[in-house]
Structure 1
Amino acid sequence: MSAKGHEVPSHCENCNAPLAGHYCHDCGQSVVNPVRDAGHALEEVFESFWHLDGRIFRTLRDLIFPGRVANNYLAGQRARYVAPLRLFLVLSVVTFFFAQMVIHVDSGDKANPMVQLEDGVSNNNKNSAKQSKAFAKASSIADVEQIRRKNLADLAEAREAIPAVLLHARKAIDVAVDDVNRAADGRIEAIGREQGMSAEQVTAAKVDGARRAAAAMETAKQNLEKAADLATLQRLREERLAPHHVKLATLPANAAAARRHELNEIRDINIAAGCRAAQLQIADATSTEGDRVRKESEDARIYGDPDCYDRLTLFGSEEPWDEETNPLVIGWAPAFFNHWINRQIAHGRENVSRAQKEPGLWVRALLAAVPSALFLLVPVFALLLKLAYLGSGRLYLEHLVIALYSHAYMCLTMLAFFIVIALDNAISPHWAGFSWIGGTLGTLLWLWLPVYLLLMQKRVYRNGWPVTVLRYLVIGNLYFVLLAFAATFLALASLVRM
């Protein structure tokens, strides 16, 4: 019987070996059953915790000094430290779990709501010098007026799309309008002088050119991307679809290529119409909801995706990729593999579109991918060390220990950096001075990391400085190129799996 009145078995309950003390001499199991003794169970938990905690603190304390943990561990002092693989795994998981909680990417831009319906607008609003260069190509006053009309129409559309409450954004459009008019008038004066025209002739040519430009613009605007309202959009869509439907009806059934071409044209028209309809609805919602912060993904879910995606073609195919109608087929691969790879392409296209609207998805995918990339590259880093130090007499597993402790310190540095970010987010709104302190600490952490790794390599391998620096630079450059490729690949894979 034990001191607490519990019956002590005569043989180990795990391996049935005779007991001669508190622990089995064969397997090491305690004679006290924690299931029957709650107090001992609690005591065992705290004992294990503090024992593990002590080793962790000792390991982290010595890890701060370049090369100390690696040298001591390789010298045989293994019991005092957490094993290198366990330490690296724990630190990498904690670091990047904490990073995903701390790092946030705001996809909503209050100063630039999703109301710019034409990508071409920004191309016409660089500066007056670029406008002058564009007009310099015009050889007649009619050409100048045509260019002026087009640019002013695009800018007017952009201005209407911006809510009235965003006065600074509308003012930028007004400045661009002045630039266009100045550049156009300057070019007209230059053409008048070159051609010896009187002031009256220049004025008459401007009026005639403006009339022709207006007529040309009216014809050019008859496309889906320029539709000003949903009724006009539907009318233009039907006009664009009609000739394709007529041609499709006249094609014989065996003209597969021609029929497929017409169907693709019809599909492109419908996609463009759907995108423009979403743009118009989002613009209407924005203009009526004032300065409410908009979220692109939410608008896309309600009104439809306003971004018309380009055709996805693979390996030079003229037909757009489609999971069902035109999938990627690898001849030598089995059917299930072709089905799987087309599903991945479909997921990837959808998720990339989502990530463009919510940049935070890219960041979260990258942060989730980095631990896996580091884990995969640890043995590669050890191999680089082995090749760089072929004459050192060290075994590959010794280089692996050094690689693991190097990566553990890298994770520890990143964890400290993310803690600084968290403190900055919490303190800077109340004390602006901490922003400078946080930025300085973060910079010092990143500057110290390469110095630490260099010192570690010097103290572990004990070579001279020139040889150590040369090997360090070669290994470091190769490794970080591999890390960038691995992290990018895994981030893309993570996006596909979202």
Structure 2
Amino acid sequence: MSHLKERKEKTCLNCQTEIIGRYCHVCGQENLEPKETVWHLVQHFFNDITHFDGKFFATLKYLLKKPGFLSLEYMRGRRMAYLNPVRMYVFTSAIFFIVLFSMSRPEKMARVMKEDQEETQKTTHSLADLRTDSARLQKKLAAADEEDKDDYRESLEKRNIEIAGIKKKYGDTAKQIFSNKGLDSILAAAYGDSLSRSNLSFVQSKKFRKAIRTYSKASAASATTENFNFLGVDIDYNTVGEYDSAEKTLPDSLRDGWLRRFIVRHGTVVKQEFEENQQLFTEHLLENIFHSFPKILWISLPIFALIMNILYYRHKQYYYVNHGIFAIHVYCATFIQLFLYMMLYALRNATTAQWLHIVIDLANFAIFLWMLIYLYKAMRGFYGQGRGKTFLKYFFICSLMFVINLVLLSTFLLISVFSV
């Protein structure tokens, strides 16, 4: 009910019908004075979305404290006392994603990722470091199972070739520091020596061949080219033509496969578009991925309801719509719980009081545990099956939805990457 003053005239302003009471019995409009203030507009906004006159908080209480209760009430036709499920979903998801996007800004995440990548690329090795690592790998190889021995053997062989190359060029007491690219150049020199001696036995390992391919292509690319990473692949070329030329200089055994070739060619085009600005590309990519989350959940919701329909197909009193309402309530509860978790996390970062950190950590742990068992409790409350059957179905639906959401996320990730 609105807080505006009721009109004395008993004629509906909308359809001109004579009114008995406060509402028109023909069109349903409330007979109020048409003049409104800004505050009334604000009140209308919140009332229309959430029914803050009591419905929202009553719905919220039952949603969090009694999983499955609201879905059961809706199925029984008791709906006026609670907020409409669809409206609840729209409101809770909107608030959740607004907070999520504001707390996880793509530009900040891209900057952190770039700093981490630069720190990783600074990794250097001395001859002593390589010898220490070789000894470590030797011990790992001796203690490894048969299925793991090949990987350790390859890594050890690669390290020993690097050590031998450094000793040959700089001596047994070399003090130089070598980057990963510098070590690849040593492997490339060893590759050339092996070809000249027609001794190809030690160059067959995957790690060695990958290092040689990386170094050979980097050498063929322009010296002024900055590193650009695309789907985990370093793009070392300014143009697609430059990449094709580099491929032709390599033997067939070292050329890229069709998938890597497709990624590198598209990555080179993206690199040209963003003028070799890795951070700008990452910002656009993260922004696309973040805005894909609501779509993923919107797609997965009816799939979730369909799976519940299949799991409870013997219960003829439940229709697909009932499972859909149940899914909406579960998703709404998840949004609210994650919202609370994020708010507590933000409060923890904003304060330095150790006792408050402990309290917040305990509260977040409690929320996490409740999120884990919420679906199980909701299934028990709504469908009323025994604990054993409910737990098996709970485990199955969680596993299956994890795979489905992972597939959807991967699909939208690829769409985001190739649409940047």
TM-score (ref. length: structure 2): 0.64
Contact 2:271/2:277, CA 8 A, preserved across alignment = no
Matched, 1:418 2:342: yes
Alignment map for 1:155-194 (pairs within 5 Å): 155=177
> Which residues of structure 1 form unaligned runs of 5+?
162-212, 221-266, 280-295, 298-305, 327-341
Residue of structure 2 in register with 1:403 after alignment: 327
1:444 to partner: Cα distance: 2.6
CA-atom RMSD in angstroms: 4.9
1:384 to partner: Cα distance: 0.4
Contact 2:88/2:332, CA 8 A, preserved across alignment = yes
Shift in alpha-carbon separation, 1:401–1:117, aligned structure 2, 3 A: closer
1:269 to partner: Cα distance: 7.0
> How far apart, CA to CA, are the structure 2 residues paired with 1:123 and 1:75?
74
Could you tell me which amino acid in structure 1 is paired with residue 27 of structure 2?
A: C
Aligned equivalent of 2:132, options 123, 129, 132: 129
Which stretch shifts more, 96-105 or 60-69? 96-105
Say which SS state the counterpart of residue 25 (structure 2) adopts.
coil
Question: Could you report, residue by residue, the CA deviation over 1:169-199 in whole angstroms, capped at 9, with x for unpaired residues?
Answer: xxxxxxxxxxxxxxxxxxxxxxxxxxxxxxx
Say which SS state the counterpart of residue 391 (structure 2) adopts.
helix
Say which SS state the counterpart of residue 473 (structure 1) adopts.
helix
Contact 1:84/1:404, CA 8 A, preserved across alignment = yes
> How far apart, CA to CA, are the structure 2 residues paired with 1:82 and 1:107?
42
Question: Could you report, residue by residue, the CA deviation over 1:347-367 in whole angstroms, capped at 9, with x for unpaired residues?
Answer: 59968x866788666655444
1:42 to partner: Cα distance: 5.2
1:105 to partner: Cα distance: 3.2
Shift in alpha-carbon separation, 1:107–1:496, aligned structure 2, 3 A: same
Alignment map for 1:82-231 (pairs within 5 Å): 82-103=83-104, 105=109, 107-108=111-112, 114=118, 121=124, 128-132=131-135, 145-146=167-168, 155=177
Contact 1:135/1:147, CA 8 A, preserved across alignment = no
Question: Could you report, residue by residue, the CA deviation over 1:126-152 in whole angstroms, capped at 9, with x for unpaired residues?
Answer: 6643245569957xx986722655995
Could you tell me which amino acid in structure 2 is paired with residue 490 of structure 1?
A: F
Task: Give the length in aligned residue pairs.
Answer: 340
1:495 to partner: Cα distance: 4.6
Could you tell me which amino acid in structure 1 is paired with residue 370 of structure 2?
A: W
Contact 2:68/2:382, CA 8 A, preserved across alignment = yes
Alignment map for 1:52-451 (pairs within 5 Å): 52-53=51-52, 54-64=54-64, 65-103=66-104, 105=109, 107-108=111-112, 114=118, 121=124, 128-132=131-135, 145-146=167-168, 155=177, 271-275=221-225, 308=236, 346=269, 364-393=287-316, 394-427=318-351, 430-451=352-373
> How far apart, CA to CA, are the structure 2 residues paired with 1:349 and 1:417?
41
Question: Could you report, residue by residue, the CA deviation over 1:448-490 in whole angstroms, capped at 9, with x for unpaired residues?
Answer: 2121110110111111111111111111111111012212322
Shift in alpha-carbon separation, 1:134–1:458, aligned structure 2, 3 A: same
TM-score (ref. length: structure 1): 0.55
Shift in alpha-carbon separation, 1:358–1:441, aligned structure 2, 3 A: farther
> Which residues of structure 2 form unaligned runs of 5+?
136-155, 194-216, 248-255
Residue of structure 2 in register with 1:452 after alignment: 374
Matched, 1:46 2:43: yes
Q: Percent identity?
A: 20
> How far apart, CA to CA, are the structure 1 residues paired with 2:6 and 2:55?
34
Contact 1:348/1:495, CA 8 A, preserved across alignment = no
1:390 to partner: Cα distance: 0.6
Q: State the structure with more CA Rg.
A: 1
> How far apart, CA to CA, are the structure 1 residues paired with 2:84 and 2:268?
41
Residue of structure 1 in register with 2:386 after alignment: 464
